[in-house]
Amino acid sequence: MSRKRDAGIDGVLVIDKPAGMTSHDVVDRIRKRFGTRRVGHAGTLDPDATGVLILGLGRATRFLSYAQASIKRYRTTAVLGVTTTTQDAAGEVVERRAVNVSEAQVRAVAAEHTGNLDQVPPMVSAVRVGGERLYKKARRGEEIERATRPVTIYQLEVLSFNEDPPEAVLDVRCSAGTYVRTLVHDIGASLGCGAHLRSLRRTEAGGFVETDAIELDAVEKEHLLPLADAVRDLPRIEIEDDAARLVANGRRLELPSADLVEDDHFALVNHGDLIAVYARRGDELVPERVVAPN
């Protein structure tokens, strides 16, 4: 027996995720509120973290990977002098050290942790090793060797520094897949006193900023954004009606400009409506995701 497909609800919600909920908890809440199973999110936030969480409903779920791969921005508070088992405030204290660093030293070390870096994923992450997620191993008290992963820190600014208690508020603009808790941990190691992440707020993702986000309890259907906002961060190419019909059928297109970068992705829109996401391959634009008809 075929399952009845949800229909009629497409679009994007930008939620200000509250602390104390998983990203999946938020998805479940929206499923119940909108009466549809077809809801997904574009990048997990830890339960204690807050801020921008992009949700896709209906056909938008197929396009969430582009927002998930986008550059993210966070505001975090780093507590100096204390390391924990999870690299954040939820873990057990591993070590306490005296903190004898100045604001200038913190800024200098922050600058050293900007650019292309190799990170070791924390044991509490969802990275799979040997077919099992690391956090499941961590729950059993296991600690295993993890391969490093390349990340990019585009911007790392010290917004404030306090000597008593010793802590720094950081503004981090980074590539997808960056573990901010690990960044804080590594900064503490470079300072020689250790550090852990006390709070984390995502302030930007997928072309949205925190002022775009709606409190979860206040979300209504009027807050649902168009399907095209699922790929807000991608450059757009406006196409005519004739080309839109070809694109809807997954046809390749001639390259409209030699300036388009190889392998880059582009949102193809017609009268403001998303038709598909294409990528440059040689002298053509080829389809990656096409909006299915309702």
Nearest one of 222, 237, 217 to 287, comparing CA atoms: 237
Do 78 and 163 lie in a common domain? Answer: yes
Residue 124: give the domain boundaries: 72-204
CA dihedral of residues 161, 162, 167, 170 (deg, nearest 10): -20
User: The domain that contains 192 carries what CATH number?
Assistant: 3.30.2350.10
Do 76 and 66 lie in a common domain? Answer: no
8 A C-beta contact, residue 168 and residue 157: no
DSSP for 160-211? EEEETTEEEEEEEEE-TT--HHHHHHHHHHHHTS-EEEEEEEEEEETTEEGG
Do 90 and 144 lie in a common domain? Answer: yes
230, 246, 268: which is the final residue of a domain? 230
Structure pTM?
0.90
- The answer to whether residue 48 is catalytic is no
Do 190 and 217 lie in a common domain? Answer: no
In a domain, 5, yes or no: no
Do 220 and 243 lie in a common domain? Answer: no
Do 150 and 274 lie in a common domain? Answer: no
Whole-number Å distance between alpha carbons of 271 and 293: 16
Catalytic residue among 16, 25, 28, 46: 46
User: The domain that contains 270 carries what CATH number?
Assistant: 2.30.130.10
pLDDT in tens, the chain (294 residues): 333 445 578 999 999 999 999 999 999 999 999 999 999 999 889 899 999 999 999 999 999 999 999 999 999 999 999 999 999 999 999 999 999 999 999 999 999 999 999 998 775 655 565 566 555 645 656 565 567 889 999 999 999 999 999 999 999 999 999 999 999 999 999 999 999 999 999 999 999 999 999 999 999 999 999 999 999 999 999 999 998 999 999 999 888 776 777 878 999 999 999 999 999 988 888 999 999 887
Whole-number Å distance between alpha carbons of 47 and 237: 37
Do 112 and 195 lie in a common domain? Answer: yes
In a domain, 294, yes or no: no
Nearest one of 240, 268, 237, 216 to 19, comparing CA atoms: 216
Do 46 and 62 lie in a common domain? Answer: yes
Domains in the chain: how many in total? 3
